[in-house]
Each structure stands twice: as C-alpha cells, then as structure tokens.
Structure 1
Amino acid sequence: MHGTTGRVCKSAPDKAAAFRFHHISTDEVYGDLEGPEELFTEETPYAPSSPYSASKASSDHLVRAWLRTFGLPVLVTNCSNNYGPYHFPEKLIPLMILNALAGKPLPVYGNGQQVRDWLYVEDHARALVKVVTEGVVGETYNIGGHNEKANLEVVETLCDLLQELVPAERSYRDLITFVQDRPGHDLRYAIDASKIERELGWRPEETFETGLRKTVQWYLDNREWWQRVQDGSYQGERLGSL
C-alpha cells in the first residue's frame, strides 16, 4: 500500500509540470483588415465583428485570465480558415464541391471578393502538435497557410478542378450564383505566421493548389461519408482521424 501510494504521489508532480492547456481559436477575433498589405499579428488588437467572433474573443480572454490569476499553463493559437477531408458540407469548400457534383447553384455571398487565408487541416494539426509540445506557456501563436484567396477565386478554382477530374457538359462555373451578403461579413483576414515559423520551425507543407486537389479527390473518393451526412443518417459518431 505504501509503495503504491508513494509511486502515485511521486508521479503527480511530474504530470502537473507537463500539463498544458492549449486553447485553439480563430483569426476572426481580430476583425476586418483595412488595407491590402496588412496582416494579423499576435499583437493585433481584438475587434470582433460578429456574435460568433465575439464569443471566440471572450474565450481567449477567459483562458488568459486563468493564466494570470491562477497560473494555468495556457497556450493560445489563432488560425485561419481550415479546409480538407471530413469538412462538413455547410462550409464553403465542401458545399461548393457537393453542389457542383449535384448540378445545384453555387451560392457566393455579395460580390465574392471577401479574402480569407486558407490552411490545409493536416498542416494545422502539425502546427498544433508543435505548439503544445514546444510552445512557451503564456504565448500566442498565429497559424496561417500563406494562401490569401478571394471567395470567388476559390469557387472558380474548384469549378476548374472539378471540370478536370469529373468533366461535365455544362461548365461548373455556370452554376455560380451571387446571393445577398451575410450581416457582419468581414472583407479580409490574413495571418502573419512568422512567429511560429521563427520560434518553433513550423511552415505549411501544402500550397493551396495541392491542398485543394487533395480535398476534392477525398470527396470524390468518399461519397458514402458525405451522403450519410446529407441524408441525415449520420448520428455524430466519430469517423476516422486526421
């Protein structure tokens, strides 16, 4: 009994010393960039535009308050738009892929000139591992893909890629339909990811072109998965891992 208790007591401080609370957030907390050359840095003031981004900003502040008040070993990351396998169909890239395959309209908000930085999901996962294992407690790291694209350009690129992989008689671009812009829609997000590259040695491995091709091919190869999501038979069970 004493021996077992001693081992537990001895290991507990080691576990406590190794513990990290990694809070994963979004670039939306920074709000809207005004100029075409500006980038979000870790020092950019928070200016969320929507209730969603305001809720994310509040959670960032909350975990930092736990660090300051109680010494919780916090790490914060703010990432740009993710895309890749297992992305649920309501998001821009999978929605456009699946609508195009079904011959449905491809709805683009406003004039489609909203700019986002696109980050392939596996690049993001590698960055998260870097931060939680090598990052400095109390620090914030911005994670971006170095892939700024207007939404309309993303949709047009998808259409051209689908035309190559799944040729259609009618151009997929003909399905593009402009719809009313959504409230509080920020015009441009763009991340400066130089800190995580400089301090932790992380850089994205995928370009937008290679990542998008992998993504489209994944949806073409995994129809059963997204059809189950669309028809309502998916019940939330965990499917696969990245």
Structure 2
Amino acid sequence: MRTVLVTGGAGFIGANFILQARGAQWYNVVNLDKLTYASNLQNLTALENEPGYCFIRGDIGDPQLVSHLLQQYQPDAVINFAAESHVDRSILNPLTFALTNVTGTLQLLEACRAYWQKLPLHKQERFRFLQVSTDEVYGSLSITDSPFCEDNPYAPNSPYAASKAGADHFVRAYYHTYGLPTLITNCSNNYGPRQFPEKLIPLTILNAMEGQLLPIYGDGQNIRDWLYVSDHCEALHLVLQQGKVGETYCIGGQNEQTNLMVVEKICTILDELLPSKPNFSHSSLITFVKDRPGHDRRYAIDCTKMNRELGWKPTESFDTGLLKTVQWYINHPQWVEQIRTGAYQSWIEQNYTDRTVNYLSV
C-alpha cells in the first residue's frame, strides 16, 4: 500500500480525508499537524492503534522536521491541507496567514524537492505533491457570471485568499522550474461532520441549538457553492491517483445557496429534530449584522474538467448533506463541549508539550 504524508491532517478536511483513506485502505498515512486552535486529534482517535497510521506534531515550516519525516517514511505523495483558513481571522491578523500559508508551503515544497530529487527514477515518476486550495483565490462572481473553472485568473480579495493564491503560485513554479510533480485543487466551501465551529454551518447549528442569535453578514444574499466533505475527499483521491501532473482541478458541490438560505434550512431541520416550545421556530433567532470588509458576493465552481477527465461528480445533495451534518452535531455533544470549553486545548498542552515528534510505525 502506498504511503502519503498528510499535512494539516487534524483539521476539518484533513481529518475527514484520513478517516476515508484508512477506512477504504487507500493509503498508509503519516499525519503532520501543528495542532493550532482549529486542529482536533479527537477526530482521529479511531486510528490511534492502527499500524497504517501515525501522528507527528510539527510545523510544515520546520524544514529539518519535514526532511526527517520524508526520509523516515519514504512517502509516495504529500497532500498539503495545512493552512490558516478563516477569512475573518485573516482580516485581523494577515501576517499569520502569510507565514503559514505562503512561507510554510514554500518550506514544504523545498523539503519535498530535495527528497524527490534523490529518489530512484521509478519512485520519482510515482511521487506527487498535492496542494489543496480554495475557490476564493479567483475572487468574486456576480449573479450572472459563469462559475469558476481552471482557466479563471487569480483575483483574491481577502488576506486569506491572497495567502492561498501565493501558495498556489509557488506550487506551480516548482513544477515548471524544477519539474516537481505537483497537482493543485481549488475547492468550494466544505461542510460536514467535525468542522470547527467558527464557520457558518457549524456555528449556526450550535447557536441555534443553544437558543443564541444567528448572525448573518449584510443582507444574507452572498452565495456559496457547498461541497460535502466526503465528496471532496473522494475527489482528492482521484486527483492524486489519476490527475495529470502540473494541472489544476476545480472541485465543487454544484449546490449554490445564499447564506440566508443555508441558515433557514438549518433552522427548519432543527425545528423538526429538536422542537422547542410551541409556536417557536429557530428562524426567529436570525439577526443581520454589519458586513465584513471585502465580502465576496458569490463563489461557484464548474466541475466539468473533474467529470470529463476523472469521472467525478458530487454525490451528496445539499439537503441530504446538511441533514447528516446537523444530526452529527446533535449526536456528538461531548465533542462540541470540549471544543468550546478549551478542555481540548488543555489536553493538547498536557500531552504534547515538548513532544514534537511522536513516532509510530507505518
């Protein structure tokens, strides 16, 4: 079985990818994660004793550590999920996003290039570096614009989007300059189980369950294309297995919804699953707040290339995926409580301070 080094594997998409990869026996997995606030090793406790999985706490910006891991585990691919990913946080602290998303990715690329250049020819030909990026690098669409595709020029409008664009450009440059076999994917908004509750869908679910206000930016008419996380993971696996080196692939859910529609649908589901007092609807908690700076009006992804070249299309509708997501948060109150109380971060400090590397067999 092939071995992959997954960076940022304790985050939302990374953890779901690792769970699917091990469940379907796609790969043995080495997971490198810095364990920042949005990382959660509890998402991966089911794999703790698996011989085909190991976790190492560390930073993609640490070239000595990354080089050591590459030599130790000899992966056939590196999948880079590691990123600061919240637009609001990037507006408050853009430097952190530049350091992690741009400089960190560049350090990772350098380590991978040095490792790849020393591989035997047959292993060089098999090696892949997959950069997991976002549709936000393309900027904003009007209501009448065609969805983003791989040919759209980059036009980032937030520090987060700019940092991801910078990382993508370095990945492309390493392919064209050094021949490193890279792939880039640009995905639309992901949702599903295990998402940190700063993003719209989990924040709305948890606030509504607790009877708190449901804040919506501006007029609520900003549109996003929603991609269920397991569909995204399947697409990434296909790109890694069959994608053409040096190419970019856009991955979308083909589920465009306004933010207001998303919140209203969550409220409707909760009215059915968790009915409160008579004549009460969770939608009564909706409140409109001042819009955030540079809020892109619409994102949407054209998946034609993924379908034509790799035979992929999303299988989860927004309604079925949203129902599964809401049900997951209802069924996992302990996970939610630990995230919100800080108990998880306290546990991390107790267990991983001065234990940067936790070697396990693969």
Residue number among 278, 284, 308 corresponding to 1:198 in the alignment: 308
d(CA) in 1 for partners of 2:176 and 2:123?
21
Partner residue of 1:151?
259
Deviation at 1:36, TM superposition (A): 2.5
Aligned to 1:5: none
Amino acid in the other structure paired with 1:118:
W
Q: Post-superposition shift, 1:34? A: 2.2
- What whole-Å deviation, never above 9, does each CA across 1:83-109 have from its counterpart, x for those lacking one? 000000011000000000110000000
3-state SS of 1:133 partner: helix
| 1:131 maps onto 2:235 in alignment | no
- After TM superposition, give the deviation of residue 231 of structure 1 in Å: 0.5
Q: Per the alignment, in what secondary structure is the counterpart of residue 130 of structure 2? A: strand
Could you tell me which residue of structure 2 aligns to residue 115 of structure 1? 223
Match of 1:233 in 2: 343
What's the offset of the Cα at 1:13? 3.0
Partner of 1:36: 144
Task: Map residues 13-32 of structure 1 onto 2, 5 A cutoff.
Answer: 13-32=121-140
Q: How does 1:159-178 map to 2 (within 5 A)?
A: 159-169=267-277, 170-178=280-288
Q: Displacement, 1:130?
A: 0.3
Structure 1 CA distance, aligned partners of 2:169 and 2:121? Answer: 28
Alpha-carbon separation, structure 2, partners of 1:37 and 1:201: 25
The residue type equivalent to 1:184 in the other structure is G
| Structure 2 residue corresponding to 1:212, chosen from 294, 317, 322 | 322
Q: Tell me the CA shift for residue 37 of structure 1.
A: 4.3
Q: Which residue of the other structure, out of 186, 189, 211, is the alignment partner of 1:81?
A: 189
- What residue is the counterpart of 1:140 in the other structure? 248
Counterpart code for 1:137: V
Q: Could you list the runs of 5+ residues in structure 1 that have no partner in the other structure?
A: 1-7, 238-242
Alignment-mate amino acid for residue 116 of structure 1: R
SS in 2 for 1:21: strand
Structure 2 counterpart of 1:193, one-letter code: C
Q: How many residues align?
A: 228
Q: Deviations over 1:132-157 (max 9, x none)?
A: 01100011100000000000000000
Q: Which one-letter code corresponds to 2:265 in the other structure?
A: T
Residue 4 of structure 1: aligned partner:
none
- Are 1:52 and 2:160 counterparts? yes
| One-letter identity of the residue aligned with 2:304 | S
Cα distance in 2 for partners of 1:16, 1:191 equals 32
TM-score, normalising length: structure 2:
0.62
The higher-RCO structure (CA 8 Å, 6+ apart) is 1
Deviation (angstroms), 1:67: 0.6
> Match for residue 23 of structure 2?
none
- Report the 3-state secondary structure (helix = DSSP H, G, I; strand = E; otherwise coil) of the residue aligned with 1:130: helix
Equivalent pairs: percent with the same residue? 59
Question: In structure 1, how many angstroms separate the alpha carbons of the residues matched to 2:296 and 2:175?
Answer: 30
* 1:62-94 C-alpha deviation (Å, 9 max, x unpaired): 110011110010100000000000000011000
SS in 2 for 1:234: helix
What's the offset of the Cα at 1:51? 0.9
- 2:311 equivalent to 1:223: no
Matched with 1:240 is none
SS at match of 2:183: strand
CA distance in 2 between counterparts of 1:17 and 1:137 reads: 10
C-alpha deviation, 1:12, in angstroms? 3.5
Kindly state the Cα deviation for residue 168 of structure 1 after the two structures are TM-superposed: 1.4
Provide the C-alpha distance between the structure 2 equivalents of 1:197 and 1:46, rounded to a whole number of angstroms: 23
Whole-angstrom distance in 1 between the partners of 2:137 and 2:163: 9
RMSD: 1.4
1:186 maps to 296
Q: Which amino acid aligns with 2:175?
A: L
Question: Which aligned segments of 4 or more residues in structure 1 are displaced greater than 4 angstroms?
Answer: none
- Match of 2:307, SS? helix
Give, in whole Å, the separation in 2 of the partners of 1:151 and 1:82. Answer: 14
Q: Please state if 1:62 is matched with 2:167.
A: no
TM-fit CA distance, 1:117: 0.1
Distance 1:204 1:34 in 2: 24
Structure 1 residue 97 and structure 2 residue 182: aligned?
no
Unaligned runs of 5+ in 2: 1-73, 75-118, 349-362
Amino acid at match of 1:187: R
